[in-house]
Amino acid sequence: MSRLEAPGTIRSHERELKKAGDPTAMGTHCELRGATRVYPGSAGRPALHALGPIDLELEAGRFYAVVGPSGCGKSTLLELLAGLASPSEGEVFINGQPIEGNVADGVGVVFQDDASFPWLTVWDNIAFGLRQKGVSENIISEKVKGATKLMGLNGFESAYPAQLSGGMRQRVCIARTLMMEPKLILLDEPFGALDQQTRLLMGDELLNLWRETGATVLLITHALDEAAMLADVVCVMSARPGVLLDVVETGWPRDRDSRIVSKPEFGAITSRLWSLLREESLNALDTKQRGS
């Protein structure tokens, strides 16, 4: 049976085999157990069941993508993992510890919207988090140099965000997050506003930094090709309330880049993702049109 014909859910014995053969797999990093999020009603609006219940284990050092119809709870899932929101039911663990309503150490978040500070230069944007922590300027300077190089921003250190392209501004946000050396990097549709070529190149940069940092990455995206190209594992969510429809192993080697989009397996993975999501997206659209 080929990889793609097999059911997407990773069976535990397969996972053990994978761990044994993959030196970067280092056990469970995060876990959602029955995680559910209901937004309470307010001002006459009813409560809204946004997410779950979801059971999901993220192994340390692997690259995960989450895809699902608009409004299915992807950002809510990321907020739970980031500790920016608490589950209404169920639990979320990082390194075996329950998250209790605060961003756990070692977690870095990159949001969808350009979240650079427009009044600060590229350099000061990137240095921001370490300055807040009171780290010495010598160390900050060394780290900012490293991060600007890694994200291809050298030469632009004294520019302001308004002088940069959207792609470069997003790289500033990623560099700023990386400065804190997160072990878990959560990205919420970070390339949503970029054109296709820039998205592919940014994807390559993200793969590089994933390999270099050894971090666990969870990328939320609405682009199935991005998920299929970048991730080791693609989590496919249903329409709201989002639950996991399937967990698809892509089987790519760790050393990969955007050239895999020309491989036949790439087409097979994206069409599998699309067939899982087609009906869900139609449902989501229908619900929206009915105004609920």
Ligand X SMILES: Nc1ncnc2c1ncn2[C@@H]1O[C@H](COP(=O)(O)OP(=O)(O)O)[C@@H](O)[C@H]1O
Among residues 28 and 112, whose Cβ is nearest to ligand X? 112
What count of Cα atoms within 13 Å lies in the side-chain half-sphere of residue 178?
26
Minimum gap (Å) between residue 141 Cβ and ligand X: 37
- Please check whether residue 219 is in contact with residue 230, taking contact to mean a CB–CB distance below 8 angstroms: yes
Minimum gap (Å) between residue 229 Cβ and ligand X: 20
Q: Binds 71, which of Mg ion, ligand X, none (CB < 5 to 8 A, cut-off by type)?
A: ligand X
- Please check whether residue 128 is in contact with residue 180, taking contact to mean a CB–CB distance below 8 angstroms: no
**Rounded Cα distance, 144 and 148, in Å:** 6
Minimum gap (Å) between residue 97 Cβ and Mg ion: 26
Structure tokens at 99: 């998250």
The continuous run of DSSP H or E covering 41 comes out as none
Residues that bind ligand X (CB under 6 A): 39, 48, 50, 68, 70-76, 240
Q: Binds 48, which of Mg ion, ligand X, none (CB < 5 to 8 A, cut-off by type)?
A: ligand X
170 binds Mg ion (CB under 5 A): no
**Rounded Cα distance, 149 and 128, in Å:** 17
Among residues 68 and 203, whose Cβ is nearest to Mg ion? 68
Minimum gap (Å) between residue 115 Cβ and Mg ion: 14
The residue type at 203: G
75 binds Mg ion (CB under 5 A): yes
Which stretch, 11-19, 69-77, 138-146, 176-184, contacts Mg ion (CB under 5 A)? 69-77
Among residues 153 and 236, whose Cβ is nearest to Mg ion? 236
Among residues 10 and 48, whose Cβ is nearest to Mg ion? 48
Among residues 50 and 153, whose Cβ is nearest to ligand X? 50
Strand pairing class (97-98; 89-94): antiparallel
**Residue 191 DSSP label:** T
76 binds Mg ion (CB under 5 A): no
Among residues 62 and 74, whose Cβ is nearest to ligand X? 74
Q: How many CB atoms lie within 10 A of CB 221?
A: 25
Minimum gap (Å) between residue 76 Cβ and Mg ion: 8
Q: Binds 272, which of ligand X, Mg ion, none (CB < 5 to 8 A, cut-off by type)?
A: none
Q: Kindly write down the DSSP assignment for every residue of 50-111, as one continuous string.
A: EEEEEEEEEETT-EEEEE--TTSSHHHHHHHHHTSS--SEEEEEETTEEP-SSPPTTEEEE-
Residues in binding contact with Mg ion, number by CB under 5 A: 2
Among residues 36 and 258, whose Cβ is nearest to ligand X? 36
Strand pairing class (216-220; 184-188): parallel
Minimum gap (Å) between residue 247 Cβ and ligand X: 17
Enumerate binding residues for Mg ion (CB under 5 A): 74-75
